[in-house]
Structure 1
Protein backbone atom coordinates (compact mmCIF):
# COMPACT_ATOMS: atom_id res chain seq x y z
CA UNK A 1 0.00 0.00 0.00
CA UNK A 2 1.08 3.55 -0.61
CA UNK A 3 1.33 5.71 2.51
CA UNK A 4 -1.81 7.77 1.70
CA UNK A 5 -3.78 4.57 1.11
CA UNK A 6 -2.59 3.25 4.45
CA UNK A 7 -3.89 6.33 6.27
CA UNK A 8 -7.19 6.22 4.36
CA UNK A 9 -7.60 2.55 5.27
CA UNK A 10 -7.56 3.43 8.97
CA UNK A 11 -10.38 5.95 8.58
CA UNK A 12 -12.95 3.59 7.00
CA UNK A 13 -14.28 1.76 10.07
CA UNK A 14 -13.17 0.26 13.36
CA UNK A 15 -12.18 -3.15 11.97
CA UNK A 16 -10.20 -1.54 9.14
CA UNK A 17 -8.56 0.76 11.68
CA UNK A 18 -7.25 -2.35 13.47
CA UNK A 19 -5.81 -3.58 10.15
CA UNK A 20 -4.27 -0.13 9.65
CA UNK A 21 -2.60 -0.29 13.09
CA UNK A 22 -1.19 -3.72 12.27
CA UNK A 23 -0.01 -2.58 8.81
CA UNK A 24 1.80 0.39 10.37
CA UNK A 25 3.93 -2.05 12.35
CA UNK A 26 5.30 -3.61 9.18
CA UNK A 27 8.81 -2.28 8.46
CA UNK A 28 8.53 -2.40 4.67
CA UNK A 29 7.54 0.37 2.32
CA UNK A 30 6.92 -0.24 -1.35
CA UNK A 31 9.80 1.04 -3.50
CA UNK A 32 7.28 2.25 -6.09
CA UNK A 33 5.53 4.74 -3.80
CA UNK A 34 5.08 8.35 -4.76
CA UNK A 35 7.32 10.53 -2.60
CA UNK A 36 5.83 12.61 0.20
CA UNK A 37 7.13 15.92 1.47
CA UNK A 38 7.76 15.56 5.22
CA UNK A 39 7.79 18.58 7.52
CA UNK A 40 6.80 19.95 10.91
CA UNK A 41 3.97 22.44 10.52
CA UNK A 42 3.80 25.51 12.78
CA UNK A 43 0.06 25.01 13.29
CA UNK A 44 0.58 21.50 14.76
CA UNK A 45 2.22 20.17 17.91
CA UNK A 46 6.03 19.88 17.87
CA UNK A 47 5.79 16.07 17.85
CA UNK A 48 3.50 15.96 14.79
CA UNK A 49 4.90 15.22 11.34
CA UNK A 50 2.99 16.34 8.26
CA UNK A 51 3.21 14.14 5.17
CA UNK A 52 2.23 16.02 2.01
CA UNK A 53 1.40 13.71 -0.89
CA UNK A 54 2.50 15.78 -3.86
CA UNK A 55 0.51 13.76 -6.42
CA UNK A 56 -2.85 14.19 -4.63
CA UNK A 57 -2.07 17.36 -2.64
CA UNK A 58 -3.43 15.67 0.51
CA UNK A 59 -1.95 16.18 3.97
CA UNK A 60 -1.55 13.44 6.58
CA UNK A 61 -0.53 14.13 10.18
CA UNK A 62 1.35 11.57 12.26
CA UNK A 63 2.16 12.00 15.95
CA UNK A 64 5.56 10.64 16.94
CA UNK A 65 6.87 9.86 20.40
CA UNK A 66 9.59 11.99 22.01
CA UNK A 67 11.90 13.64 21.15
CA UNK A 68 9.77 16.18 19.30
CA UNK A 69 10.26 16.01 15.53
CA UNK A 70 10.49 19.80 15.30
CA UNK A 71 13.69 19.76 17.38
CA UNK A 72 15.50 17.52 14.87
CA UNK A 73 17.24 18.02 11.56
CA UNK A 74 16.56 15.56 8.74
CA UNK A 75 19.93 14.36 7.46
CA UNK A 76 18.72 11.95 4.79
CA UNK A 77 16.30 9.16 3.98
CA UNK A 78 16.19 5.63 2.65
CA UNK A 79 13.47 3.00 2.22
CA UNK A 80 10.84 5.05 4.07
CA UNK A 81 13.13 5.93 7.01
CA UNK A 82 14.35 9.42 7.85
CA UNK A 83 17.74 9.93 9.48
CA UNK A 84 17.32 12.74 12.00
CA UNK A 85 19.79 14.45 14.31
CA UNK A 86 19.28 16.60 17.38
CA UNK A 87 21.46 19.59 18.32
CA UNK A 88 24.05 17.25 19.88
CA UNK A 89 24.12 15.12 16.71
CA UNK A 90 22.42 12.13 18.31
CA UNK A 91 20.95 10.19 15.41
CA UNK A 92 17.43 8.74 15.42
CA UNK A 93 15.92 6.77 12.55
CA UNK A 94 12.24 7.66 12.08
CA UNK A 95 9.65 5.96 9.92
CA UNK A 96 6.82 8.51 9.59
CA UNK A 97 4.46 5.95 8.03
CA UNK A 98 4.75 3.49 10.91
CA UNK A 99 5.72 5.85 13.72
CA UNK A 100 8.69 3.60 14.51
CA UNK A 101 11.85 5.22 15.87
CA UNK A 102 15.28 3.76 16.50
CA UNK A 103 18.08 5.57 18.33
CA UNK A 104 21.57 5.09 16.95
CA UNK A 105 24.67 5.00 19.17
CA UNK A 106 25.69 8.52 20.30
CA UNK A 107 28.60 10.13 18.42
CA UNK A 108 30.87 10.08 21.47
CA UNK A 109 30.78 6.26 21.44
CA UNK A 110 31.97 6.02 17.82
CA UNK A 111 35.54 4.97 17.20
CA UNK A 112 37.73 7.61 15.59
CA UNK A 113 35.35 10.50 16.35
CA UNK A 114 36.28 13.19 18.84
CA UNK A 115 33.70 15.83 19.74
CA UNK A 116 34.76 19.49 20.12
CA UNK A 117 32.96 21.76 22.58
CA UNK A 118 33.06 25.51 23.18
CA UNK A 119 34.03 26.87 26.60
CA UNK A 120 30.30 27.02 27.38
CA UNK A 121 29.97 23.28 26.73
CA UNK A 122 28.12 23.66 23.42
CA UNK A 123 28.97 21.12 20.72
CA UNK A 124 31.13 22.93 18.18
CA UNK A 125 32.20 20.19 15.79
CA UNK A 126 33.97 16.90 15.32
CA UNK A 127 37.40 15.62 14.60
CA UNK A 128 37.32 12.41 12.60
CA UNK A 129 40.55 10.54 13.13
CA UNK A 130 41.66 8.63 10.08
CA UNK A 131 43.36 5.30 10.53
CA UNK A 132 44.86 3.71 7.46
CA UNK A 133 44.27 -0.01 7.21
CA UNK A 134 47.23 -0.35 4.87
CA UNK A 135 49.81 1.51 6.93
CA UNK A 136 48.45 1.21 10.48
CA UNK A 137 48.38 4.98 11.22
Structure 2
Protein backbone atom coordinates (compact mmCIF):
# COMPACT_ATOMS: atom_id res chain seq x y z
CA UNK A 1 0.00 0.00 0.00
CA UNK A 2 1.37 3.41 -0.96
CA UNK A 3 2.01 6.09 1.62
CA UNK A 4 -0.67 8.26 0.00
CA UNK A 5 -3.36 5.57 0.35
CA UNK A 6 -2.22 4.82 3.91
CA UNK A 7 -2.56 8.48 4.85
CA UNK A 8 -6.02 8.60 3.29
CA UNK A 9 -7.15 5.53 5.21
CA UNK A 10 -5.72 6.62 8.56
CA UNK A 11 -8.22 7.91 11.08
CA UNK A 12 -7.59 11.30 12.70
CA UNK A 13 -5.97 11.17 16.13
CA UNK A 14 -8.85 13.23 17.49
CA UNK A 15 -11.22 10.35 16.65
CA UNK A 16 -9.47 7.92 18.99
CA UNK A 17 -11.67 6.42 21.67
CA UNK A 18 -11.18 8.36 24.94
CA UNK A 19 -10.32 5.10 26.72
CA UNK A 20 -7.54 4.30 24.22
CA UNK A 21 -6.24 7.84 24.34
CA UNK A 22 -6.19 7.66 28.14
CA UNK A 23 -4.13 4.45 28.08
CA UNK A 24 -1.52 6.10 25.87
CA UNK A 25 -1.40 9.32 27.85
CA UNK A 26 -1.06 7.45 31.14
CA UNK A 27 2.34 6.23 29.95
CA UNK A 28 3.62 9.74 29.21
CA UNK A 29 4.98 12.36 31.56
CA UNK A 30 3.00 15.61 31.94
CA UNK A 31 5.62 17.74 30.22
CA UNK A 32 5.38 15.62 27.06
CA UNK A 33 1.61 16.04 27.11
CA UNK A 34 1.91 19.80 27.48
CA UNK A 35 4.10 19.80 24.37
CA UNK A 36 1.44 18.14 22.19
CA UNK A 37 0.10 21.38 20.64
CA UNK A 38 3.58 22.23 19.39
CA UNK A 39 4.27 18.70 18.11
CA UNK A 40 0.93 17.30 16.89
CA UNK A 41 -2.38 19.13 16.90
CA UNK A 42 -4.27 15.88 16.44
CA UNK A 43 -2.86 14.41 19.63
CA UNK A 44 -3.55 17.66 21.45
CA UNK A 45 -7.18 17.53 20.35
CA UNK A 46 -7.47 13.87 21.36
CA UNK A 47 -6.23 14.66 24.87
CA UNK A 48 -8.53 17.61 25.48
CA UNK A 49 -11.20 15.34 26.94
CA UNK A 50 -8.90 13.80 29.55
CA UNK A 51 -6.26 16.36 30.55
CA UNK A 52 -3.54 15.20 32.91
CA UNK A 53 -2.18 18.58 33.97
CA UNK A 54 -4.24 21.67 33.27
CA UNK A 55 -2.71 24.86 31.95
CA UNK A 56 -2.08 27.19 34.86
CA UNK A 57 -2.59 24.43 37.44
CA UNK A 58 -0.50 24.93 40.60
CA UNK A 59 1.80 21.97 41.14
CA UNK A 60 4.41 21.24 43.78
CA UNK A 61 7.75 20.55 42.13
CA UNK A 62 9.92 17.99 43.95
CA UNK A 63 12.76 15.59 43.23
CA UNK A 64 11.87 12.75 40.94
CA UNK A 65 11.40 9.24 42.27
CA UNK A 66 11.49 6.08 40.22
CA UNK A 67 8.64 3.52 40.62
CA UNK A 68 10.51 1.95 43.56
CA UNK A 69 10.75 5.24 45.44
CA UNK A 70 14.45 5.89 44.79
CA UNK A 71 15.47 9.49 44.07
CA UNK A 72 16.76 10.20 40.58
CA UNK A 73 18.65 13.50 40.43
CA UNK A 74 21.36 13.02 37.82
CA UNK A 75 18.85 11.97 35.17
CA UNK A 76 17.10 15.35 35.31
CA UNK A 77 13.93 13.80 36.66
CA UNK A 78 11.35 15.61 38.73
CA UNK A 79 7.84 15.08 40.05
CA UNK A 80 4.83 17.38 39.84
CA UNK A 81 2.05 17.10 42.43
CA UNK A 82 -1.15 18.78 41.23
CA UNK A 83 -2.86 20.22 44.31
CA UNK A 84 -5.88 21.46 42.36
CA UNK A 85 -7.26 18.21 40.95
CA UNK A 86 -7.36 15.26 43.30
CA UNK A 87 -3.71 15.34 44.34
CA UNK A 88 -2.39 13.50 41.29
CA UNK A 89 1.37 13.17 40.84
CA UNK A 90 3.37 12.93 37.64
CA UNK A 91 6.98 11.98 36.91
CA UNK A 92 8.88 13.93 34.27
CA UNK A 93 12.36 14.51 32.91
CA UNK A 94 14.11 17.57 31.51
CA UNK A 95 17.55 17.52 29.90
CA UNK A 96 18.20 20.97 31.35
CA UNK A 97 17.94 19.58 34.89
CA UNK A 98 20.62 16.91 34.55
CA UNK A 99 23.17 17.51 37.28
CA UNK A 100 21.39 20.71 38.32
CA UNK A 101 18.83 21.91 40.84
CA UNK A 102 16.23 24.67 40.91
CA UNK A 103 16.68 27.64 43.25
CA UNK A 104 13.78 29.80 42.11
CA UNK A 105 11.21 30.26 39.39
CA UNK A 106 8.21 32.07 37.99
CA UNK A 107 5.29 30.54 36.09
CA UNK A 108 6.78 27.81 33.87
CA UNK A 109 10.38 29.06 34.09
CA UNK A 110 12.87 27.67 36.60
CA UNK A 111 16.12 29.17 37.83
CA UNK A 112 18.66 26.34 37.93
CA UNK A 113 22.26 26.00 39.04
CA UNK A 114 25.01 23.44 39.30
CA UNK A 115 27.41 23.09 42.22
CA UNK A 116 29.74 25.67 40.66
CA UNK A 117 26.99 28.34 40.69
CA UNK A 118 26.58 28.43 36.91
CA UNK A 119 23.02 29.77 36.81
CA UNK A 120 20.54 29.62 33.95
CA UNK A 121 16.82 29.89 33.27
CA UNK A 122 15.03 26.76 32.06
CA UNK A 123 11.58 26.18 30.65
CA UNK A 124 11.11 22.41 31.12
CA UNK A 125 8.09 22.38 28.80
CA UNK A 126 9.74 23.95 25.75
CA UNK A 127 13.31 23.04 26.65
CA UNK A 128 14.44 26.67 26.25
CA UNK A 129 17.51 27.63 28.29
CA UNK A 130 18.81 31.16 28.95
CA UNK A 131 22.20 31.41 30.69
CA UNK A 132 22.55 34.14 33.31
CA UNK A 133 25.85 36.02 33.76
CA UNK A 134 28.58 34.46 35.88
CA UNK A 135 28.80 35.73 39.44
CA UNK A 136 32.43 36.47 38.60
CA UNK A 137 31.16 39.47 36.61
CA UNK A 138 29.51 41.06 39.66
CA UNK A 139 29.95 44.82 39.87
CA UNK A 140 30.22 46.44 43.28
CA UNK A 141 31.81 43.37 44.88
CA UNK A 142 34.63 41.05 43.90
CA UNK A 143 33.15 37.57 44.04
CA UNK A 144 35.14 34.40 43.69
CA UNK A 145 33.60 31.01 42.97
CA UNK A 146 34.97 28.33 45.31
CA UNK A 147 32.15 25.98 44.35
CA UNK A 148 29.51 23.86 46.09
CA UNK A 149 26.80 26.52 45.86
CA UNK A 150 28.97 29.24 47.43
CA UNK A 151 30.62 32.49 46.38
CA UNK A 152 33.23 34.29 48.45
CA UNK A 153 34.22 37.87 49.18
CA UNK A 154 37.72 37.69 50.54
CA UNK A 155 37.67 35.45 53.61
CA UNK A 156 33.86 35.34 53.82
CA UNK A 157 31.81 32.65 52.13
CA UNK A 158 28.19 33.16 51.10
CA UNK A 159 25.85 30.30 50.26
CA UNK A 160 23.36 30.93 47.48
CA UNK A 161 19.89 30.60 49.06
CA UNK A 162 17.55 31.39 46.18
CA UNK A 163 17.13 33.53 43.11
CA UNK A 164 13.90 35.47 42.84
CA UNK A 165 12.80 35.58 39.21
CA UNK A 166 10.78 38.81 39.01
CA UNK A 167 10.43 38.71 35.20
CA UNK A 168 10.82 35.79 32.80
CA UNK A 169 12.50 35.95 29.37
CA UNK A 170 9.00 36.22 27.89
CA UNK A 171 8.23 39.46 29.75
CA UNK A 172 7.11 42.16 27.27
CA UNK A 173 9.01 44.82 29.19
CA UNK A 174 12.41 43.61 28.06
CA UNK A 175 13.13 40.10 29.29
CA UNK A 176 14.28 38.59 32.55
CA UNK A 177 14.97 40.28 35.89
CA UNK A 178 16.45 38.26 38.74
CA UNK A 179 17.65 38.88 42.31
CA UNK A 180 20.17 36.55 43.98
CA UNK A 181 19.93 36.08 47.75
CA UNK A 182 22.99 34.76 49.57
CA UNK A 183 23.69 34.07 53.22
CA UNK A 184 25.03 36.86 55.44
CA UNK A 185 22.99 39.53 53.68
CA UNK A 186 24.63 39.52 50.23
CA UNK A 187 22.23 40.62 47.47
CA UNK A 188 22.80 41.05 43.73
CA UNK A 189 20.58 41.56 40.70
CA UNK A 190 20.78 41.14 36.95
CA UNK A 191 18.51 41.98 34.02
CA UNK A 192 18.41 41.27 30.31
CA UNK A 193 20.18 43.92 28.26
CA UNK A 194 23.58 45.00 27.03
CA UNK A 195 25.29 44.64 30.44
CA UNK A 196 25.75 40.94 31.02
CA UNK A 197 26.70 41.10 34.67
CA UNK A 198 25.39 41.04 38.22
CA UNK A 199 25.32 44.14 40.40
CA UNK A 200 25.85 43.78 44.14
CA UNK A 201 23.77 46.03 46.36
CA UNK A 202 25.57 48.20 48.88
CA UNK A 203 24.40 46.97 52.26
CA UNK A 204 26.16 48.66 55.17
CA UNK A 205 24.25 46.55 57.70
CA UNK A 206 25.68 43.34 56.24
CA UNK A 207 29.23 44.54 56.93
CA UNK A 208 28.61 44.86 60.67
CA UNK A 209 26.22 41.98 61.34
CA UNK A 210 26.86 38.28 61.03
CA UNK A 211 23.23 37.29 61.66
CA UNK A 212 21.79 39.23 58.72
CA UNK A 213 19.71 37.05 56.42
CA UNK A 214 17.11 37.87 53.79
CA UNK A 215 14.21 35.53 53.14
CA UNK A 216 12.80 37.17 50.00
CA UNK A 217 13.17 40.11 47.63
CA UNK A 218 11.23 41.77 44.83
CA UNK A 219 11.29 44.79 42.53
CA UNK A 220 8.39 47.24 42.58
CA UNK A 221 8.32 50.42 40.48
CA UNK A 222 12.06 50.35 39.98
CA UNK A 223 12.90 49.82 43.66
CA UNK A 224 14.22 46.63 45.20
CA UNK A 225 12.65 45.48 48.47
CA UNK A 226 14.23 42.75 50.60
CA UNK A 227 12.63 41.08 53.62
CA UNK A 228 15.04 40.53 56.48
CA UNK A 229 14.06 37.52 58.58
CA UNK A 230 14.95 38.79 62.07
CA UNK A 231 13.96 42.41 61.44
CA UNK A 232 10.55 41.33 60.13
CA UNK A 233 9.94 39.49 63.40
CA UNK A 234 10.95 42.52 65.49
CA UNK A 235 8.78 44.91 63.47
CA UNK A 236 5.84 42.55 63.79
CA UNK A 237 6.28 42.44 67.56
CA UNK A 238 6.45 46.23 67.88
CA UNK A 239 3.50 46.79 65.58
CA UNK A 240 1.28 44.07 67.02
CA UNK A 241 -1.33 46.55 68.23
CA UNK A 242 -1.68 48.00 64.76
CA UNK A 243 -1.86 44.69 62.95
CA UNK A 244 -5.02 43.63 61.15
CA UNK A 245 -5.59 39.94 60.65
CA UNK A 246 -6.06 38.93 57.01
CA UNK A 247 -8.90 36.43 56.71
CA UNK A 248 -9.78 36.53 53.00
CA UNK A 249 -7.86 36.64 49.72
CA UNK A 250 -10.51 38.17 47.52
CA UNK A 251 -13.00 35.58 48.72
CA UNK A 252 -12.12 32.89 46.18
CA UNK A 253 -8.34 32.92 45.79
CA UNK A 254 -5.41 30.89 47.11
CA UNK A 255 -1.90 32.30 47.49
CA UNK A 256 1.21 30.25 46.65
CA UNK A 257 4.45 31.21 48.40
CA UNK A 258 7.93 29.72 48.39
CA UNK A 259 11.10 29.96 46.33
CA UNK A 260 8.84 30.73 43.36
CA UNK A 261 7.58 34.22 42.55
CA UNK A 262 4.26 34.44 44.46
CA UNK A 263 1.02 33.97 42.53
CA UNK A 264 -2.73 33.70 43.12
CA UNK A 265 -5.08 31.01 41.79
CA UNK A 266 -8.87 31.31 41.76
CA UNK A 267 -10.47 28.33 43.49
CA UNK A 268 -13.58 26.95 41.73
CA UNK A 269 -16.78 27.23 43.81
CA UNK A 270 -17.20 24.20 46.05
CA UNK A 271 -13.77 22.78 45.21
CA UNK A 272 -12.65 19.99 47.53
CA UNK A 273 -9.06 20.14 46.31
CA UNK A 274 -8.05 23.78 45.85
CA UNK A 275 -9.00 25.71 49.00
CA UNK A 276 -9.95 29.39 48.80
CA UNK A 277 -8.60 31.93 51.32
CA UNK A 278 -5.66 29.65 52.06
CA UNK A 279 -1.91 30.16 51.76
CA UNK A 280 0.00 27.28 50.19
CA UNK A 281 3.57 27.44 51.49
CA UNK A 282 6.62 25.59 50.19
CA UNK A 283 9.50 26.54 52.45
CA UNK A 284 12.61 28.29 51.25
CA UNK A 285 16.04 26.66 51.89
CA UNK A 286 15.59 27.04 55.65
CA UNK A 287 13.18 24.08 55.54
CA UNK A 288 11.86 21.49 53.12
CA UNK A 289 8.23 20.99 54.10
CA UNK A 290 5.12 22.26 52.41
CA UNK A 291 1.69 22.87 53.86
CA UNK A 292 -1.58 24.77 53.69
CA UNK A 293 -2.61 27.54 56.09
CA UNK A 294 -6.26 28.53 56.38
CA UNK A 295 -6.78 32.28 56.90
CA UNK A 296 -10.37 31.69 58.02
CA UNK A 297 -9.35 30.01 61.28
CA UNK A 298 -10.68 31.82 64.33
CA UNK A 299 -8.57 33.58 66.95
CA UNK A 300 -6.47 31.15 68.95
CA UNK A 301 -6.02 28.70 66.09
CA UNK A 302 -2.75 28.59 64.20
CA UNK A 303 -4.36 28.28 60.77
CA UNK A 304 -2.55 25.06 59.89
CA UNK A 305 -4.66 22.85 57.63
CA UNK A 306 -2.44 20.03 56.51
CA UNK A 307 1.09 19.06 55.69
CA UNK A 308 1.61 18.00 52.10
CA UNK A 309 3.09 14.53 52.34
CA UNK A 310 4.40 14.65 48.78
CA UNK A 311 7.12 17.04 49.91
CA UNK A 312 8.61 14.76 52.55
CA UNK A 313 11.69 13.63 50.65
CA UNK A 314 15.21 13.43 52.03
CA UNK A 315 16.82 15.62 49.37
CA UNK A 316 19.29 18.12 50.79
CA UNK A 317 19.55 20.01 47.50
CA UNK A 318 16.19 20.24 45.75
CA UNK A 319 13.63 22.05 47.86
CA UNK A 320 9.89 21.75 47.11
CA UNK A 321 8.72 24.71 45.04
CA UNK A 322 5.48 25.78 43.35
CA UNK A 323 5.42 25.48 39.57
CA UNK A 324 2.72 26.67 37.17
CA UNK A 325 3.00 25.41 33.57
CA UNK A 326 1.33 27.86 31.21
CA UNK A 327 3.29 27.55 27.96
CA UNK A 328 0.62 25.72 25.96
CA UNK A 329 -2.78 27.04 27.14
CA UNK A 330 -4.48 25.58 24.05
CA UNK A 331 -4.22 22.08 25.44
CA UNK A 332 -6.71 22.39 28.25
CA UNK A 333 -9.09 24.80 29.89
CA UNK A 334 -7.52 27.28 32.27
CA UNK A 335 -8.46 27.25 35.94
Give the structure-2-normalised TM-score.
0.27
The change in CA–CA distance for 1:112 and 1:126 in structure 2 (over 3 A counts) is farther
Question: Per-residue deviation at 1:55?
Answer: 1.9
The question of whether the paired residues in 1 share the 8 Å contact of 2:76 and 2:94 is answered with yes
Question: Per-residue deviation at 1:122?
Answer: 4.2
Distance 1:16 1:5 in 2: 17
The question of whether the paired residues in 2 share the 8 Å contact of 1:112 and 1:129 is answered with yes
Higher relative contact order (CA 8 A, sep 6+): 2
Residue of 42, 63, 79 corresponding to 1:16? 42
Question: Per-residue deviation at 1:9?
Answer: 7.9
Equivalent in the alignment of 2:63: 40
Q: Give the number of the structure whose alpha-carbon radius of gyration is greater.
A: 2
Runs of 4+ in 1 over 6 A off after TM superposition: none
Equivalent in the alignment of 1:65: 95
The question of whether the paired residues in 1 share the 8 Å contact of 2:64 and 2:91 is answered with no
The question of whether the paired residues in 2 share the 8 Å contact of 1:75 and 1:84 is answered with yes
Equivalent in the alignment of 1:77: 105
5+ residue gaps, structure 1: 21-29, 132-137
The change in CA–CA distance for 1:5 and 1:129 in structure 2 (over 3 A counts) is closer
Q: For each residue in 1:32-68, what CA deviation from the matched residue of structure 2 results, as whole angstroms up to 9, or x when unmatched? A: x221111222424621222221223223333222451
Equivalent in the alignment of 1:88: 116
Distance 2:96 2:126 in 1: 15
Question: Per-residue deviation at 1:93?
Answer: 0.9
5+ residue gaps, structure 2: 1-29, 46-54, 67-71, 154-199, 204-335
The change in CA–CA distance for 1:106 and 1:77 in structure 2 (over 3 A counts) is same
Q: Does 1:110 align with 2:138?
A: yes
Equivalent in the alignment of 2:6: none
Question: Per-residue deviation at 1:115?
Answer: 2.6
The change in CA–CA distance for 1:79 and 1:122 in structure 2 (over 3 A counts) is closer
Number of residue pairs matched? 108
The change in CA–CA distance for 1:5 and 1:92 in structure 2 (over 3 A counts) is closer
The question of whether the paired residues in 1 share the 8 Å contact of 2:35 and 2:125 is answered with no
Question: Per-residue deviation at 1:100?
Answer: 2.3
Q: CA RMSD in A?
A: 3.5
The question of whether the paired residues in 2 share the 8 Å contact of 1:73 and 1:86 is answered with yes
DSSP 3-state at the match of 1:114: coil
Question: Per-residue deviation at 1:81?
Answer: 0.9
Residue of 75, 87, 97 corresponding to 2:125? 97
DSSP 3-state at the match of 1:55: coil
DSSP 3-state at the match of 2:136: helix
The question of whether the paired residues in 2 share the 8 Å contact of 1:76 and 1:84 is answered with yes
DSSP 3-state at the match of 2:142: strand
